[in-house]
Amino acid sequence: MSFQSIASVVSLSVGSVVFGAPDYQGIVDEHLSPLIEAGLIPGAVVAIHAEGEDSIWTIGTMNYTDDTPMRPDTLFEIGSVSKLFTGVLLSDSIARGEVTLDTTVDALLPEGINAKDKDGVEVTLRHLTTHSAGWPSMPPNAVYSDPDDPFAGYSREQMFRVVSNAAPKTVPGESFEYSNFGVGLLGTLVADAAGGDYEQLVKARIFKPLGIDGITITLSDDQLKKLAPATQEGRQTKHWSSMGSLDPAGMWVADARSMLDFANANLRDDDDELDPVLKAAREPIGDSPFGRVGMNWFQALDGRSYWHNGMTGGYSSYLGVNQELGISVVVLTNGATLVTTGAGEKIFQEVAGMDVDPVDLPPMVKIDPDFAARLVGHYKSQYFELWITNENGRLFARITNQQALRLAQDADDPTTFRYEAVDAVLEFDLPEEGEAGAVTLFQNGMEIRCERVES
């Protein structure tokens, strides 16, 4: 998993359903146990609304290193599910007359900063919220000084420098390209137009009217204690401290109860003054290769279900709602894997009364600890340094200024390991006894030898 992938997108379809007396814990276990057994997540919390009732279910543990069970009130980074709140803030700002979907980015930028257009077509808020602005997924001028906390400190000035210097790659409105940068810009500009701070505006305009207090960006000391440990591919990593001006794209932290309250608010069609705002945010106003797009909501292929998923460096999530069936599903995990999306989709379908098979994943195979100890260490080439670690029975390789990536041992040659996330191989020079003296990286036709650095 690259840290540049905060979320990916898929689509689901819900057929005809028959409600019975479902075993929700059994459904959760069936669809999330494969992720735990594969070492992708240590645990999860799932919140479900169906047949007028709410329920919260847990599975797994807080971490790989102990047996502390997952708690229902655990907090998680929710990644790109955060975009739903930014879409609702846009909808609310439109209802208040502060902006329109056709307000241009250029009109909202600070004085003296002008946004580039493409072939005379200016980028609007409609383009940003439907991922059709033509700007890339990630800011091209981000400096990833810490690969485990990659967007910390990304400033407004850096963001505005992109829009003023880089024209969209495609004509705005003509094609879909999922863009975290675009939604970060959207939230920043809408908050500026409202004259407030993005986080505080979302809390005051959305969460307070809904009675929700368990969703935040800024964490108190007590909330930090409730935050699940971040993990990635079987190893513990760091939670993200901030995304700076990209916060609107993926930095919210939440518990399952609060997320279910938000999801359930999207099932209502009452006279509450926020309901029209929520409904307008869901209404499709754009297209994508896998369905229609609202104000950051994705409409499933059945035309009745709405969803989003998310992932940060140590967490992944899924949220789906279907107003016609009266169901909501929230899945929060403390493992960074896009497989959570597939599992969440299947739980949603099961809650809707369908019978679907769980995701098919190979179980995690742990390396012999004595053999791993001979490989673990610090290596150095003329181009970079390389660290090999053994974490919870799996080997990881980290190159200078990059994330640690999980390795899979070759079935025929125990000294050969392939990267699971990229097309690359490591071959260790291992004597009959003792530690490996060197390791060679094979990637893109290159062979780079790294010698062990004595500690």
> What is the CATH T-level fold of the domain 369-452, as seen in this structure?
Lipocalin (2.40.128)
pLDDT band of 11, cuts 50, 70, 90: very low
Asked whether the predicted pLDDT for residue 9 surpasses 60, the reply is: no
41, HSE (Cβ side, Cα atoms, 13 Å): 31
DSSP single-letter state for residue 227: B
* pLDDT at site 19: 44
pLDDT at 269: 80
Distance CA(140)–CA(116), nearest Å, equals: 15
Distance CA 13, CA 409 (A): 38
The overall average pLDDT reported for the chain is: 93
Which range among 93-97, 214-218, 360-364 shows the weakest confidence by mean pLDDT?
360-364
Task: Give the per-residue pLDDT at 342.
Answer: 96
Q: What's the pLDDT score for residue 355?
A: 93
The whole-number pLDDT of residue 161 equals 97
- Is the predicted pLDDT of residue 151 greater than 80, yes or no? yes
Report residue 362's pLDDT band, with 50, 70 and 90 as the boundaries: confident
pLDDT tens-digit series, residues 316-343: 999 999 999 999 999 999 999 999 999 9
Domain ranges for the chain, please list them: 24-351, 369-452
CB 212 within 8 A of CB 47: no
Mean pLDDT, to the nearest integer, of 355-363? 91
Phi, psi values for residue 326, rounded to 5°: 70, 40
Token pair 């307008």 in the structure block, residue: 280
Cα(31)–Cα(53) distance, integer angstroms: 21
**pLDDT at 6 (0 to 100):** 39
Task: Look at the domain 24-351 and name its fold.
Answer: Beta-lactamase (3.40.710)
Task: Record the pTM.
Answer: 0.89
22, pLDDT greater than 90 = no
pLDDT of 247-286, one tens digit each? 999 999 999 999 999 999 999 887 678 999 999 999 999 9
Average pLDDT of the segment spanning 294-300: 97
Q: What local confidence, expressed as pLDDT, does residue 176 receive?
A: 96
pLDDT in tens, 107-130: 999 999 999 999 999 999 999 999
pLDDT band at 21 (very low <50, low <70, confident <90, very high): low
CA dihedral (73, 78, 82, 88) positive or negative: negative
Q: Are 124 and 102 in contact (CB under 8 A)?
A: yes
Span 298-313, mean pLDDT? 95
Q: 312: closest CA among 253, 400, 395, 394?
A: 253
Q: What is the pLDDT of residue 271?
A: 65
Residues 75 and 253 sit within 8 Å (Cβ to Cβ): yes
